[in-house]
């Protein structure tokens, strides 16, 4: 046994063999969400815990036709190895869409296609973070980013997220105190909170970062899912050579296609290409070709409008059910888009207890603590509305309200503590 290394490893229970892992594995949290999803596989359970897009809004027929067309027309070609950067017409399509939606000039050379936008976070971690480097992230922050960056062993600095975006004063203090490599944020319909930064706040954050070498990692997984259809400016508009955008087809086409992209200025893109080559050579070429065929055959704007309308209705239904049944001491966000609502229970009320008790009533919710790198947020919950019918939302929220009342309100109408 190597005595120099901390004992991090796996055990084969059958043979008793112990496998030594790199120490970085000890610093990377397991995805609590994936663990919970195992529990919620039971069809009796009404689950607000996951983060799945509404399966009824995946255009299976359209994707089937696109797949048949590319396989018929170019079967051998689309099943070959391809370029690391990704299919050029697809990158051009993405660039054109930035121009159309946001008036943003992006060259296809600044775009690389990835295996979902989650892979962008791994590639960014790989090329920017050495062990002990400083990384700043919203508080609460997206668990997938905490997990992806943790593998590279940074020191995290949380920046509290308010209803209008991250606190610029706190961010200012962090970047004044530490040489922060990256600030990671989700300006549109954030996961987990559902919060969208105001334009004013985007400008303020940009002006804090402009004076530094810190890069803004703008995760835009939900930018197309703003219920009202309006598109807010990208951070790249304010920090052109300091912003890396990550984008995703998961919420507008299908997550199983595993297609996302990264937009990075020249000077960074070269290193992303090297990291991508070392990881997997290139993203699934067949998927890229099917996506391109689909996007150019179908009215994608109409498809996205349908998704927005459905999610707005599901969100409204959940908010109304909560307004009717939750005690007044419970507060929650009112998202402008995306797939999640963020709940704050009265201080001192444990969301883990609520989770366990709700599960006994066949309702799954997601305790918020894993979204806090400092272990706080023990009175918070994330609820997903995109993957439930109105009927399930009303029934599930009704049951959850009873659990919250029994655990968090000491006597009818009186909360155990102040609001958060």
Ligand X SMILES: Cc1ncc(COP(=O)(O)O)c(C=O)c1O
Interface residues with ligand X (CB under 6 A) are: 51, 116-118, 142, 144, 186, 191, 219, 221, 248, 250, 255, 260
Residue nearest to ligand X (CB): 116
Please name the residue that has the structure tokens 């599960």. 359
Q: Least distance (Å) from ligand X to the CB of residue 339?
A: 8
Q: Least distance (Å) from ligand X to the CB of residue 259?
A: 8
Q: Which is nearer to ligand X, 58 or 69 (CB)?
A: 58
Q: Which is nearer to ligand X, 178 or 227 (CB)?
A: 227
Torsion angle defined by CA atoms of residues 187, 104, 386 and 296, in that order, rounded to the nearest 10 degrees: -160
Cα separation, 262 vs 99, whole angstroms? 16
Question: Which residues partner with 261 through β-bridges?
Answer: 113, 247
Q: Least distance (Å) from ligand X to the CB of residue 225?
A: 11
Cα separation, 307 vs 312, whole angstroms? 8
In the chain the first and final C-alpha atoms are separated, in Å, by 49
C-alpha distances in angstroms, 91 versus 88, 202, 263, 288, 304?
Answer: 5, 26, 10, 10, 19
Q: Least distance (Å) from ligand X to the CB of residue 250?
A: 3
Residue pair 308/396 in contact (Cβ under 8 Å)? The answer is no
Cα separation, 298 vs 290, whole angstroms? 12
Q: Least distance (Å) from ligand X to the CB of residue 325?
A: 27
Q: Which is nearer to ligand X, 124 or 330 (CB)?
A: 124
Please name the residue that has the structure tokens 């102040």. 418
Q: Least distance (Å) from ligand X to the CB of residue 141?
A: 9
Q: Least distance (Å) from ligand X to the CB of residue 296?
A: 21
Q: Least distance (Å) from ligand X to the CB of residue 224?
A: 12
Q: Which is nearer to ligand X, 180 or 221 (CB)?
A: 221
Q: Least distance (Å) from ligand X to the CB of residue 150?
A: 15
Q: Which is nearer to ligand X, 85 or 218 (CB)?
A: 218
Q: Which is nearer to ligand X, 221 or 393 (CB)?
A: 221
Q: Least distance (Å) from ligand X to the CB of residue 32?
A: 14
Q: Which is nearer to ligand X, 9 or 255 (CB)?
A: 255
Q: Which is nearer to ligand X, 214 or 384 (CB)?
A: 384
Cα separation, 220 vs 217, whole angstroms? 9
Pairing of strands 363-364, 260-263: unpaired
Cα separation, 124 vs 147, whole angstroms? 13
């Amino acid at each position: 046994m190597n005595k120099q290394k901390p004992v991090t490893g796996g055990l084969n229970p059958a043979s008793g063999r112990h496998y030594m892992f790199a120490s970085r594995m000890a610093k990377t949290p397991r995805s609590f969400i994936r663990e919970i999803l195992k529990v919620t596989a039971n069809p009796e359970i009404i689950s607000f815990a996951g983060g799945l897009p509404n399966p009824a809004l995946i255009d299976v027929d359209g994707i089937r036709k696109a797949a048949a067309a590319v396989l018929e027309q170019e079967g051998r070609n689309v099943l070959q190895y391809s370029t690391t950067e990704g299919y050029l017409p697809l990158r051009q399509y993405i660039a054109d869409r930035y121009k159309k939606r946001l008036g943003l000039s992006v060259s296809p050379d600044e775009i690389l296609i990835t295996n979902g936008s989650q892979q962008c976070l791994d590639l960014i971690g790989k090329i920017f973070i050495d062990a002990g480097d400083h990384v700043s992230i919203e508080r609460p922050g997206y668990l997938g980013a905490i997990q992806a960056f943790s593998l590279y062993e940074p020191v995290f600095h949380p920046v509290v997220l308010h209803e209008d975006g991250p606190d610029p004063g706190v961010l200012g203090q962090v970047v004044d105190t530490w040489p922060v490599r990256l600030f990671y944020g989700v300006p549109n319909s954030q996961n987990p909170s559902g919060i969208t930064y105001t334009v004013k706040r985007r400008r303020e954050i940009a002006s804090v970062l402009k004076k530094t070498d810190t890069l803004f990692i703008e995760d835009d997984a939900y930018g197309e899912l703003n219920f009202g259809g309006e598109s807010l400016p990208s951070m790249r508009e304010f920090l052109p050579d300091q912003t890396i955008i990550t984008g995703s087809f998961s919420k507008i086409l299908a997550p199983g296609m595993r297609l996302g992209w990264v937009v990075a200025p020249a000077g960074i893109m070269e290193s992303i290409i090297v990291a991508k080559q070392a990881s997997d050579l290139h993203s699934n070429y067949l998927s890229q070709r099917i996506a391109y065929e689909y996007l150019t055959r179908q009215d994608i704007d109409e498809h996205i409008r349908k998704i927005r309308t459905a999610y707005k209705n599901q969100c409204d239904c959940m908010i109304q059910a909560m307004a009717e049944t939750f005690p007044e001491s419970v507060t929650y966000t009112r998202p402008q888009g995306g797939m999640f609502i963020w709940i704050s229970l009265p201080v001192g009320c444990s969301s883990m207890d609520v989770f366990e008790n709700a599960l006994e009533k066949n309702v799954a919710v997601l305790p918020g603590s894993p979204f806090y790198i400092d272990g706080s947020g023990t009175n918070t919950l994330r609820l997903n509305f995109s993957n439930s019918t109105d009927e399930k939302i009303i029934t599930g929220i009704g049951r959850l309200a009873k659990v919250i009342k029994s655990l968090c309100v000491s006597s009818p109408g009186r909360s155990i503590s102040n609001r958060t």
